[in-house]
Chain A
């Protein structure tokens, strides 16, 4: 019980640090640091999405970059149509592009959720290593599709020249955009926290721990997992939407298997199944990339070494080390 209190306090501190950093950077006129924090917040959101499937549901998806990329392409495609004044389609009814983030987010979430439904429905027929390989393969399929589909830039990707709009704020200012991403992240985290303690979260955790028992109680493990997978894909898709607005660019590399691996790395660095695990992990990752990347081009070697050390010797990640083992009712 004390550990749980420690983790709650730690989470609040972490949330405040992630908020305070960019505010200080903004005051010190360091817009790059604000952008860095925005990147961390968005990647954290992608990790939060995966953590729902992986941490709560025990579903080791190695294909979440697919949802990240689909969310990104949803934004990129609609925004580019808007900027070029070309309707997306004219038949059977007219659909125009848009630059309104709220609509773009909705589309991104729906598209990635739909993809997660199809991929999940197939992949969840299996488990274990099969599941890992199959999710990886389906993500690779979408990656190759994005590369070879010529209409939206193919391998070169697609630029959107102006960041999309959100009512009431100027998204072009780095701090405003950071605060928007931060707010989205916090809303999703609160929702996940509620969900974890609610009936769905309970059922999902039960399925992870003892599938046979859940079936014996008359609930379908498959459906529970599929729902979790879809929710998970939606959240990661939303992160992809924000990521494209951060970079004003979407490309197939958002769907690459490296990115799937990195999203998983956020979780393990921070702590599997911890609410703030992906947040810590993404921040550590971005810091690592920034610090090591500034003095060696081979920083990924050191990232690999650090990851290996965490997996072999520091299971539980950052939060596990600081707050101790998890307990829940």
Chain B
């Protein structure tokens, strides 16, 4: 069996009396989409933040690409190839769509201290950005300022920036949110192929998308994983049904 890319062991996090992550164990294997579902407030986004290093865990460990990264900060983890997309689009508002992706490509090169060469005339960065935009279907909007993009376009731009990072794993926080039916369907098709480039830890509310895409699904309720399995196993799992029916389908 191949070694997991990401391995989370006994991870816990509390804010005051509130335990948002409670002894979570989870791994993501090469080539798979591992979906994380659960009702609102279950701690899904907190878990992504813990993995990305935006917040620090109280206990537990995270291994990534054969390395212990529990003590690493967000920047160091991103450099190792952990790339996240945000639940609420987090972009550089005054840059164009292309400018955003070019900046991601620049960041992948860890290149900050260039003072003369003009980014806009850098063929490598421009080509890479255009390729990523092409893949998500935003090529014809490349020159448009982010603040003038539609909500759905911003979601796709998030994905394009993640592509330009060429990560070893994608952490995607509700990529389908606000895309509409057609957009979601297209993104499902895209992510389906993307898993061969790098595995995906996917948080998603769109259950149709989850059941189509996920190799494995983990169900998070009140900070704990209550069930794990394939789409069929989860669909018929009594605890999951209870959690969802009891908590009102989100």
Contact = CB atoms under 8 A, between A and B. Distances in A.
B75 A206 contact: no
Interface stretch (B114-122, B179-187, B204-212, B228-236): B114-122
27 contacts: A194-B115, A195-B116, A197-B119, A199-B112, A199-B117, A199-B119, A200-B112, A200-B115, A202-B106, A203-B106, A203-B107, A206-B92, A213-B86, A214-B107, A215-B74, A216-B52, A216-B54, A216-B86, A217-B103, A217-B108, A218-B75, A218-B107, A218-B108, A219-B110, A220-B75, A227-B112, A329-B96
Q: Which of A197, A200, A213 has the most chain B CB atoms inside 10 A of its CB? A: A213
A226 to B, nearest CB: 11
A129 interface: no
Nearest to B90: A213
B191 interface: no
What interface size band does chain A fall in?
20 to 34
B94 interface: yes
A198 B116 contact: yes
B116 A194 contact: yes
Contacts of B115: 191, 194-195, 198-200
Task: Please give me the 7 A-B residue pairs with the lowest Cβ-Cβ distance, nearest first.
Answer: A218-B78, A199-B114, A217-B107, A218-B79, A197-B118, A213-B90, A206-B92
Contact of B75 (A195, A200, A219, A227): A219
Nearest to A197: B118
Contacts of A218: 75-76, 78-79, 107-108, 110, 165
B15 interface: no
A294 interface: no
Interface string B84-95: 101000111111
Contact of B78 (A197, A203, A217, A227): A217
Contacts of A210: 90-93
Contact of A198 (B86, B110, B118): B118
Contacts of B143: 329
